[in-house]
Amino acid sequence: MDQIVRPRRLRGGETIRKMVRETRMDKSSLIYPMFVIDGVNIEEEIPSMEGQYRYSVDRMCCELERLVEAGVGSVMLFGIPAEKDETGSQAYAKDGIVQRALREAKARFPELYYITDVCMCEYTSHGHCGILKGHDVENDQTLAYLSRIALSHVEAGADMVAPSDMMDGRVQAIRRELDGSGFKEIPIMSYAVKYASAFYGPFRDAAGSAPAFGDRKSYQMDFHNSREGIREALLDVKEGADIIMVKPALSYLDMVTKVRDHVQVPVAAYSVSGEYAMVKAAAAKGWIEEERIMCEMAVSTYRAGAGIYLTYYAKELAKCMDEGKIG
């Protein structure tokens, strides 16, 4: 048979397969989402997210140490306050849960890179991501609160802030607040392409952030739309976003690729709680091989164009990279 072109030549062994690998991953691109909660001596597993915990400030350092040992260098902090109110005042309080966690973490593990989620849903009594006017979230009034939250995080030691609220104009408002306060070098990672998704269910259980009424469809994106996502990404870059995030990841890999093709800044993707919970549940039933699925999901996200991956599997993926199973 006179067959000249044989793609299988480049698949014949592990060395050649790695040599020609198109998608490469590195531990430095992993970000681990972590929940910190008001209280003392708390390390409670989240029922819908097996293996994930809520940590009080005095207990979180054990997990941070495990991240350092695994070689995961970046953490995204989400705060769960003891008290909530209409304006989410604990989100920007000097002694708020994230602010205290940052000061302690920076003192104990200064080598880690700390990113904070900037939103109000975990802190408001109504569970929405902004200030209410009746039953509607008032966009422009909310911007001042988001800017105040971001500034309080940076003053407490945050290396980067990540607004996740999906208010129009919030990147510009936060950029102006940080710049005007002498923090011009702090980057913003914008949840620019954030869909109103059922994949967030376990997170809302973890953070106690489910809305008390209605839903978030008036500010998070309709999952039928892709051109709108590109518009959101380009607007946020124009407003000063340094990194653009797509969320969720698994069902939105087309958006990762489209955003990557339209922006000239790094693209991140968040493998959200629902993705993690589905894998854990199926693995517990013995229906799938958890490690292989975890790796395949990660590689698919990088292959789609993400350069940064937020995942609850960060430590496990780092181990697989060390062992040469992915990378």
3-state DSSP assignment of residue 69: helix
At residue 92, the pLDDT reads 96
3-state DSSP assignment of residue 226: coil
pLDDT over threshold 90, residue 18: no
Nearest to 326 by CA among 289, 297, 283: 297
**Cβ atoms 127, 209 nearer than 8 A:** yes
pLDDT over threshold 70, residue 208: no
The reply to whether 106 belongs to the active site is no
Residue ranges of alpha helices (H) inside the chain are 14-19, 57-70, 97-108, 139-156, 170-180, 201-207, 227-239, 253-262, 273-284, 290-304, 314-322
**pLDDT one-digit tens code per residue, 234-293:** 999 999 999 999 999 999 999 999 999 999 999 999 999 999 999 999 999 999 999 999
The reply to whether 280 belongs to the active site is no
Q: The domain containing residue 283 runs over which residues?
A: 21-322
Interval 158-172 mean pLDDT: 96
Choosing from 27, 94, 106, 194, the catalytic residue is 194
Count the Cβ atoms, other than its own, within 10 Å of residue 73: 19
11: in domain: no
Interval 84-93 mean pLDDT: 93
Choosing from 27, 84, 247, 315, the catalytic residue is 247
Interval 22-49 mean pLDDT: 95
**pLDDT one-digit tens code per residue, 43-86:** 999 999 999 999 999 999 999 999 999 999 999 999 999 999 98
Report how far Cα 106 is from the mean position of its chain's Cα atoms: 20
Q: Is-cis flag, bond preceding 110, omega within 30?
A: no
5: in domain: no
**Tokens, residue 210:** 């489910």
pLDDT over threshold 90, residue 98: yes
Average pLDDT, the chain: 94
At residue 131, the pLDDT reads 87
13: in domain: no
7: in domain: no
At residue 6, the pLDDT reads 85
**Tokens, residue 159:** 């290396």
CATH of the domain at 242: 3.20.20.70
pLDDT over threshold 80, residue 322: yes
**Cβ atoms 317, 311 nearer than 8 A:** yes
Per-residue DSSP letter, 309: E
At residue 214, the pLDDT reads 59
295: in domain: yes
The structural domain count of the chain equals: 1
41: in domain: yes
8: in domain: no
Verdict on whether the full-model pTM lies above 0.75:
yes
Interval 291-314 mean pLDDT: 97
76: in domain: yes
At residue 213, the pLDDT reads 66
At residue 66, the pLDDT reads 97
Nearest to 239 by CA among 177, 173, 179, 181: 173
